[in-house]
Structures are given as C-alpha cells and as structure tokens.
Structure 1
C-alpha cells in the first residue's frame, strides 16, 4: 500500500497504526514522527501540489477538513481518480472514529480498535486522578493572539479540558472557535492561560510579551506561573498524540499527584 497524507494529524494517525513504511508523501507541516521529514514534500496543507501527489502513484490519499480552506484539496482529489479518505474531526469522539476509519481503509482494523481502547482507558485513568482534587480550573486556550482565536465548545480542546477536570472558558460558545480580544479573555475569568499558537514552534513564543499585555496586567491568570506555552503539536492536531497532551496537562495542573 502506498499512502499519501495531506495533513499532520493524518500522518500521525497512520504512524500510530504502524503504517509509517507505507507513507510515500506528506504535506509540508507533517513533522512527526521525525522520519516523515525525509519524505517528498507535497506543499503546504492549503496548497497541495496535486501533480506531485499523482506522480507518487498512491493507492490511498488521506485528506482532512480540520483547517478552513482544505476543501479545495478535496475538490481536486475528486479529479485524480485515486481512492481517498477525508477526515473532519470536531470532538474527541470524532478522533476515535477517524482512527477506526483509517484502520478500516488500511487493513489495520484490529490495531485501530486497540489504539482507541488504549486511549480511552488511559484518559479515563487520568480523569479519575484529576477528579479527586475537587478543583475545576478554568482554562483559556489561545490559538492566536491578535485577533484572538480560542477553541469554542465544539472542539476537542473542550474535551481535553474536561479530561483533566477543568473547563474551557469558552465552552459555552457553540462553534469550533471563538474570536474575542484580550479584554474578552479577562471577562471570561480564566485561572490559566494556555498558549498554543497554530503553526508556531513553542520556542518562538515569548511569555514576556504575553504577561505584559495591558488588559491583563494585575490579573491572576496572567502571572508567569499561570501562563504556559505548550507544544502546538500535542494539542492542535486531532491525532492519538492528544493523549500525551492530556497527560502533560494533568501534570501541569496537578503536579502533586502526577
């Protein structure tokens, strides 16, 4: 089987199912596992070079609608005449379903079922330990600083928050994302600010600039020990690596029990 992945989270799902050796090309932002960086670069996820995709002669293409604008890729795939699968996860349960769908499409049904079972079991274990603390921290997730974008209720980070007995401060917003401003964040009254700028490496995000925002001065959640720069790949990608993200978040919020 020759597989092309057009989205980092798809690449990660394939790798977690033991299909790394079958991946023959990836989008430019796929970087895990590290070995995929040596594969043919098919361009950025919003501007895939379909001629290069076709030249690789894949037997399956795994696409995604997880980022606005990826619809164009799907429209072009229809003209290639190559089997393809389109993932479009919103919540954690959707990610489980996507893993099972990829497993079914690649003859890895048993592996996919086992992976989903392991994820659910471990997340339940983490959730049980977190719930024993009795607190419900309010988490502000920052996808982008200006304009401010944060996950709304219909997003897997709402589920990630709940898994550690916390709450996404914009969980009552019905859409996938919430656009606001720094004053709006203050009004949401978070306990922690979790910064995961989409597409920006963790080391390039400077906490000094975040805690010095005028609207945030004097706010408890904006103190240095309450602002955390997180690895974008563990939280913004709907893949099995979210489990690692949940474990790390639990350790961050409850260091005494993890």
Structure 2
C-alpha cells in the first residue's frame, strides 16, 4: 500500500518537475540540473544508499557499491565495486538517470565523460548530513522531498538527545578514542561521530583542528591516554601489539568496546541510522565506561 502511494505521488509530481527541472549544487560546488526526478539511480556510497531508501527511493535504485547492505532489499541489487574499482561498464549498461557517489570516488570524471548525470555528496559532519538529506530529498521529489529530508534530520536529533539522556553522570566527561580504521584513522571532534560523542557528554581525545578522520601516529593515543576506546571488532586484536598501548588507561582497565561488523556499519555511516549509532555509543559509555 505504501509503495503504491509513493508511486502515485511520484507520478503527480513528475509532470510539474519535468517542466521546471531540479537543480542542486553538489559537494564539488558543481550545479547539477535534472529535467525530471530520476527513475533509475546507481548509488556508490552506503550512506547515500541508506538515505535514498529512507526518503522513499529504494525502488528507483538499480545498482549499488559492494558495501551497501542496508536495508536488506538492496542486497539483491547488482554490485558495481568500491571506491577504487567501480565497474564503469556495468554502470553504463544499467542506463541510470543519476549516479550518486562520494568525493573520494575515482570514477567521477569518467562517468561524466560518458554523458552520465553525476551528483557528488559525501557527508562527514552533522551539518553535511542535514544538507545531504535535503538535497537527496529534492532530487527524489522536489520541494516536498526536501521537507522530508529535514523531517528525517529532526527525527535523528530527537533520537540522539534520547540516547544522551541514558548516559549516567559517572560516565560523563570520559576521554574517548574512537578508531575507524586500523591504520590508525580516528574519528575526530569535527566528524559526525565526534559530534555525537560530544552530545553524549564524552571527551574526544582527537581535537577538531586535526580534521574529521585523521590518520594518527599511534604514539599520539598513548600520550592522550584515553579512559575508553571504541573500536571495530576486526581491529580490536591489534591494539595490544602497538608499542606502549598496554599502558593506556583504557587498555589497563579493560575499557574497550568492540563493535561487531553490523554495528560498525551503523556507526560509520552518516545517515538515517545515526540515532541507532548514538544508542550503541551510549550503551558503551554505560556498560564499559563506568567500569572501575
């Protein structure tokens, strides 16, 4: 029933938007104009895939990158590779009206040279997420879609606030190191993860001037001596082998939250599941952070 309603709404909007066109400025600063809402979309970034689906556009996706796995319906779609090895031939053969991808993708110029319509969006901060939701909504359904994007954003704020209220006083102010990759890359204060940590009353050891997701010298973490470490399970086993890390307070006191692969996806994707990510981090602060 809901799918039928979306199809009807899309059909009603189509002639109006086709006449006026839709223009958005993407994250390159490039204005992109579509004659009509896209009916065939390829998404090459998991966070964009999830946002498209949250905004009612899942049925328009014809392919995704190999890492897009949520919601479950996108797992059956053709996969086009990743950031470094996107399959141009598959993408072109699908004849998409729009290709969504991030700034770090290496195929932007090639796709545009082949005449495909490309919109580049890569959220790294909360402000980015809000903007991307609005622009995706606009692309999918015009002004009404942009309003839907803002509605999703407001819902996320309520969910993050609710998660923050579950963090007890004794867990507030803990210094936290959040590792996003074993290089190691960290989530800094200015990233969407860092901003959520701040909302949860945690103190990020990686200051904003270092950027959203800086690559750190492991010695930096030793000197910062965090009280709590948040890390994906796949990297957790490497921590103890780094010089000096056994002396970090979080390691000595076994205050390490190890997130599963599924939880890692939720935490690392700036989009519709950020409220769920906040709950995971709040639970870590409660269950592990208050350990004495």
Q: TM-score, normalised by structure 1?
A: 0.85
Q: Which of these residues, 250, 257, 262, is aligned with residue 228 of structure 1?
A: 257
Q: Which of these residues, 28, 36, 52, is aligned with residue 66 of structure 2?
A: 28
Q: Distance in 2 between matches of 1:219 and 1:41?
A: 41
Q: 3-state DSSP class of the match of 1:254?
A: helix
Q: Distance in 1 between matches of 2:129 and 2:265?
A: 15
Question: Which residue in 2 is equivalent to 1:75?
Answer: 109
Question: Which residue in 1 is equivalent to 2:213?
Answer: 177
Contact conserved, 2:134 with 2:149, CA < 8 A, in 1?
A: yes
Count the aligned residue pairs.
244
Q: Which of these residues, 151, 162, 179, is aligned with residue 142 of structure 1?
A: 179
Cα 1:49/1:40, change in 2 over 3 Å: same
Question: Which residue in 2 is equivalent to 1:15?
Answer: 53
Structure showing the higher helix proportion among its residues: 2
Q: How far off its partner does 1:178 sit?
A: 2.6
Contact conserved, 2:134 with 2:146, CA < 8 A, in 1?
A: yes
Q: Which of these residues, 90, 96, 101, is aligned with residue 58 of structure 1?
A: 96
Q: TM-score, normalised by structure 2?
A: 0.76
Where structure 2 has 5 or more consecutive residues not aligned to the other structure, the ranges are 1-38
Q: RMSD in angstroms over aligned alpha carbons?
A: 2.3
Cα 1:43/1:209, change in 2 over 3 Å: closer
Question: Which residue in 1 is equivalent to 2:136?
Answer: 102
Q: How far off its partner does 1:179 sit?
A: 2.6
Question: Which residue in 2 is equivalent to 1:193?
Answer: 229
Question: Which residue in 1 is equivalent to 2:15?
Answer: none
Is residue 189 of structure 2 the alignment partner of residue 127 of structure 1? no
Contact conserved, 1:6 with 1:63, CA < 8 A, in 2?
A: yes
Contact conserved, 2:44 with 2:100, CA < 8 A, in 1?
A: yes
Q: Distance in 2 between matches of 1:162 and 1:24?
A: 37
Is residue 251 of structure 2 the alignment partner of residue 251 of structure 1? no
1:203-242 residue pairs with structure 2 within 5 A?
204-205=234-235, 207-211=236-240, 213-223=242-252, 225-230=254-259, 231-242=263-274
Q: Distance in 2 between matches of 1:143 and 1:134?
A: 22
Contact conserved, 1:131 with 1:164, CA < 8 A, in 2?
A: no
Q: How far off its partner does 1:212 sit?
A: 5.5
